[in-house]
Amino acid sequence: MALDRQKVRVEGLHCVDCVKSVEKTISKFAGVRSVSISFATGSMEIEYDTDEVSLEEIQRAVRRLGYGFLREEVEGERVFSLSNREFVLALLSGSFLAVGLLLALAGQDPGVLDLGGWQITLSESLFVAAMIFGGYFPARRTMTAIANKSFVMDGLMVVGALGAVLIDAFAEGAAILFLFSLAELLEDYSVERTRDSLRSLVDLKPKMASVKRGDAFVRARVDDITVGDIVLVKPGEQVSVDGIVRAGESTVDQSPITGESVPVRKGVGDEVFAGTVNREGRIEISVTKESSDTALSRIIQLVESAADRKSDTARFIDRFAKYYTPAVLLMAVAVAAIPTLLGQPFDVWFYKALLLLLISCPCALAISTPISMASSITSAARNGVLIKGGAYVERLEEIDTIAFDKTGTLTEGEMEVTDVIPLAGHSRADVLRVAASLECLSEHPLGLAIAELAGKEGVPLECVESFQSIPGKGLKGEIGGEPHLIGSDRLFETASNPLMDKKRSLERQGKTTVFVGKEGEPLGVIALADRVRGSARDAMLRLRSGGRYDLVMLTGDNEAVARRIAGQLGIDDFRANLMPEEKVGAIEAMSRGGRKVAMVGDGVNDAPALAAADLGIAMGAAGSDSALEIADAALLGDDLSKVPYMLDLGRRTMRVVRSNIVAAIAVKLTFAVLVFPGLVTLWMAVAIGDMGVSLGVILNALRLARVK
């Protein structure tokens, strides 16, 4: 046994029934272990025993059904091109139909064939030719489906055309099959536009890269690059791997992965992702992940699987269609038979039965939800948001409460200086000069923030001698021959009461304080606090507007810190001093109170809370395997403004889904009612009642790709 797994593309899948027909046909091959087709992407994954069946045999079977079969890396043919046989046959069908109609309308329609008294005119011959060309693929798919004991919608059209011939309506029979074949082409084109937006993510994956071999860089396939290799990326080139910058500096456009609008500065030690674009300088990258395991590869895999993860609405529609189609067939038989048995003209009621069959085709209803969800999920991914399935898109609309972790989510988890307060006789620059001179010799986060501020303000640093760290208290060193200190007030035997009062006041605001001075003589005090994330204020403002959402902050920090951050961001409800299990308890309490809660956190530390929420949203997940796995949705960057975008996208998607379902049902019911007074013709049933609705549903779903 030699098992092989292949991923190929099947073109021309314009409805869910097409997918089922192909899967059923291929699964009957000896040696085929599994076959699964994604309607959202048009991809087929197949596992088979190469000793029993070849990929070429499977390809021929797919093509016999009337669908295209392509390797994933091969570019497909255009829908409206002469290389597409369906387009060519539809063109011929339309040409014969048009000439036949012109002859019939002009009255120049001689008989060309006499079949035992039944004369076939030239126009009718042309209509028959139009039916043969227009009905070739639908008839072939119908016959294959019958052989597999399954059903496809093409069969309704074939039955409708044959029925039209039986009642001598050649022109209408030809119109049915031509319009159906044309509508299928338009539908294929529209569906492919949705799939192309998803495939554009795949196209971000680089194929080649410059990798170091010996003392030189050579071009190599990205799939052949291994962890530890060194890759060169020149200005304007796409980063081909996930890795760490080991040499050089540049700005990198990360928008294809994280949705960030502004390029990010990258230097030695910084992480870069495959699929991003190097804007300026040359950088060398040490590879940290295989090509199949990069952030981009994981995102593509998750988006593809998410597009086929059905929502509750989609599952309901599937169950509905399962019973709907047989019911329609029985109704059509009843409409043709019952009036005839009661003495009504057979041809009149047979015609009405054909109309009901064509109008009632459930294609539009079946694709209304999956095509909308696929469009929405792909649009989100292109904007730096990963949503793991249609069920979570539906849930976005239900959310009324959003809980945020503080550190690393609302704040950056990095300290910044908020206050520099000198004592009388000293200046702000004096305090910063001494503090930064001492702290630049330390790696403490508070020290880094002080040194950063001194650099920004152009404060010169002094030479420090006899430097020492005093555990639990601070730092000490000689500046200008005099001992200087920075740290807690315990370093200073006498601290002025006004300064201690100021220290207590600052700490009540949730700030951390450090004293600066000579031994026994404070020069001033510096206050620091966790830096609020730049995108947090705008995100909270947008979420508060309209009063749709309740905002809650959950943090393990003390109440003073929590109050300060909540006040800065306009969050009224906050819970402080929480352990991870207490965050879970807070979310469960809100859920028991009838709220639908989304939890936004930065990954591993918030995993229990993310899991407990109705919707878990992970921050900055592009570089985190665990965050991508844990959450129901993920912001691939650190931009909190994507939270209101995601919620808005969810609401819009569900509006589109509902409008698609309502429109499909309303149009079909209206046309079904109009059948009985004779206000609907066969071509109207196909062009408007069936394929017109399907196209409308698809085009409506495509609007979601424009949501920003």
**Where do the domains of the chain lie?**
3-11+19-58, 226-289, 412-532
pLDDT digits (tens, 9 = 90+) for 689-701: 777 888 888 888 8
Assign 552 to helix, strand or coil: strand
Show the tokens assigned to 237: 């080139």
Among 39-43, 82-86, 118-122, 245-249, top mean pLDDT goes to: 245-249
Q: Please give the mean pLDDT across all residues of the chain.
A: 82
* pLDDT value for 1: 65
pLDDT band for position 557 (cuts 50, 70, 90): confident
- Provide CATH code, domain 226-289: 2.70.150.10
Question: What percentage of residues in the chain have a pLDDT greater than 90?
Answer: 13
* pTM, 2 dp: 0.72
Residue 565 predicted with pLDDT over 70: yes
705 band by pLDDT with thresholds 50, 70 and 90: confident
pLDDT tens profile 145-176: 777 676 666 777 788 788 888 877 788 888 88
CA distance 538 to 641: 7
Q: Which pLDDT band, with edges at 50, 70 and 90, does 38 fall under?
A: confident
Residues contacting 607, CB < 8 A, separation 6+? 601, 626, 630
Task: Give the pLDDT score at 116.
Answer: 57
CATH number of 412-532: 3.40.1110.10
291, 274 in Cβ contact below 8 A?
yes
In 3-state terms, what secondary structure has residue 15?
A: coil
- pLDDT at residue 52 above 90? no
Active-site residue numbers?
405
Instruction: Kindly state the percentage of the chain with pLDDT values over 70.
Output: 87
* pLDDT one-digit tens code per residue, 614-665: 998 988 765 556 666 777 888 887 889 899 999 999 999 999 999 988 888 8
SS3 425: coil
The answer on pLDDT for 49 being more than 70 is yes
Confirm if 148 and 656 have CB atoms less than 8 A apart.
Answer: no
- 398-435: pLDDT as tens digits: 999 999 988 888 888 778 888 888 887 788 888 899 99
Q: Does domain 3-11+19-58 have CATH number 3.30.70.100?
A: yes
> 3-11+19-58 with 226-289: one CATH topology?
no
| Structure-token pair, residue 203 | 């196209």
Q: Which pLDDT tens digit goes with each residue over 3-17?
A: 888 878 887 776 667
pLDDT at 651: 93
Rg (CA), the chain: 34
